[in-house]
Structure 1
Amino acid sequence: MKGIKLTSGDILTIGAGALVCPAHKHLIRGRGLSEQVFERGGEALEAACALQSECPVGEARLTRAYGLPVTYLIHTVTPQWTSGDQWGARALAQLGQCYTSALDLALASGIRTLLFPALGAGRNHFPHSLAAHRALEVLVPRADEFEQLTVCLHTRGALADWRQVQQRFFTPSL
């Protein structure tokens, strides 16, 4: 798939123009990947985040990346998955907006290589198959706008789920 790379491993060891990081609406230390990013970024990242306005679900904010192998961090607040109840469609739309906001902010900032985790699939409990489908719905049509879009999954099992979704729904048939 042109411009989109799916991989697994430690996302905090991969270089790119920007890492898209799940965030708290006040851009303070969260849990999971957010916590790890703040541990590496330290006081400089905390100070940069304190200068930003509140970030509602689906929007994104940009800071420099301190102590990481990327130049920038794009912080986005992901929705909480509630097991596909009546708010499931809204959560999926908001998750898609997280990807759209990150892509738009990257382009506006001149960032051509982006690194994504499986937004929403960690602490916010989206099943990987749903998270992958929503992410790829946004990323695939826009891949040509970037040099590289990389999605780094935390486990090989998650990578297998994403690849299955990619092959089934986003690989052209002959």
Structure 2
Amino acid sequence: MEPLRLTCGNILTLRAGGLVCPAHKHLVRGRGLSAQIYELGGPQLAADCKNLPECGIGEARITRAYNLPAEYLLHTVTPQWSSGDQWGAEALVQLRRCYQSVLDLARSKGIGTLLFPALGAGTNRFPHSIAAHQALEVLTKRAGEFQQLTVCLHTPAALAEWRRVKEDFFPDA
């Protein structure tokens, strides 16, 4: 089993110790994948989230996953892509910090397998090529610390873009 895997499909049907949820800073139901996770997680998930402190951009929080095929949810607040304007560099740092915070939290809780969506590439509008590069910069360096890290992309086109970035910039990973 390779430590870092890229795949395409419905992330909500895959099993892992931890599932990464793109989160709102108040840990309430968001849009896109977040909304689907909260719907499947049910009222217990929402109740758990109310008891957690606010989550800043790039930070991570953890809850049980309840009705999802993972044991834990790792919530992280991703930055908004600003089309590469003067705040673009900070957004890149914040997106990398999302991955680092999730990995640090998972490691501290003994979670060996993680499922990641393309953080930032959904409703926060990061282009997949940029989101992939930021993610893979962190994940390739830390994959050996885990049994498996899986990035599950929503479309074959997104998967192809992530694979291209991996081959072009991280060929030895």
* TM-score, L = length of structure 1: 0.98
Unaligned runs of 5+ residues in structure 2 are none
**C-alpha contact (below 8 Å) 1:56/1:77 kept by paired residues:** yes
User: How far apart are residue 157 of structure 1 and its match?
Assistant: 0.3
Matched, 1:133 2:112: no
Find the aligned partners of 1:14 and 1:172 in 2 and give their Cα distance: 26
Q: Which amino acid aligns with 2:59?
A: E
Find the aligned partners of 1:167 and 1:63 in 2 and give their Cα distance: 34
Give the total of aligned pairs.
Answer: 173
The two structures, once aligned, show a CA RMSD in angstroms of: 1.2
Partner in structure 2 of residue 35 of structure 1? 35
Q: Which moved more, 1:1-10 or 1:121-130?
A: 1-10
Partner in structure 1 of residue 19 of structure 2? 19
Q: Which amino acid aligns with 2:93?
A: A
Partner in structure 2 of residue 67 of structure 1? 67
Partner in structure 2 of residue 109 of structure 1? 109
The 5-angstrom pairing of residues 45-56 of structure 1 reads: 45-56=45-56
Find the aligned partners of 2:75 and 2:110 in 1 and give their Cα distance: 16
Matched, 1:168 2:168: yes
What SS does structure 1 have at the residue aligned with 2:18?
A: strand
Partner in structure 1 of residue 145 of structure 2? 145
Partner in structure 2 of residue 96 of structure 1? 96
**1:105-160 deviation line (CA, Å, top 9, x unaligned):** 00000101000000000000000000000000000010100000000000000000
Q: Which amino acid aligns with 1:146?
A: F
Q: Which moved more, 1:5-14 or 1:164-173?
A: 164-173
Find the aligned partners of 1:2 and 1:114 in 2 and give their Cα distance: 13
Q: Which amino acid aligns with 2:152?
A: C
Partner in structure 2 of residue 154 of structure 1? 154
**1:71-107 deviation line (CA, Å, top 9, x unaligned):** 0000000000010000110000000000000000000
What SS does structure 2 have at the residue aligned with 1:29?
A: coil
User: How far apart are residue 2 of structure 1 and its match?
Assistant: 4.1
**C-alpha contact (below 8 Å) 1:2/1:144 kept by paired residues:** no
What SS does structure 2 have at the residue aligned with 1:5?
A: strand
Find the aligned partners of 1:42 and 1:8 in 2 and give their Cα distance: 25
User: How far apart are residue 172 of structure 1 and its match?
Assistant: 3.2
**C-alpha contact (below 8 Å) 1:28/1:46 kept by paired residues:** yes
Q: Which amino acid aligns with 1:91?
A: A
State the 4+ residue runs in structure 1 displaced beyond 2 angstroms: none
Find the aligned partners of 1:98 and 1:124 in 2 and give their Cα distance: 13
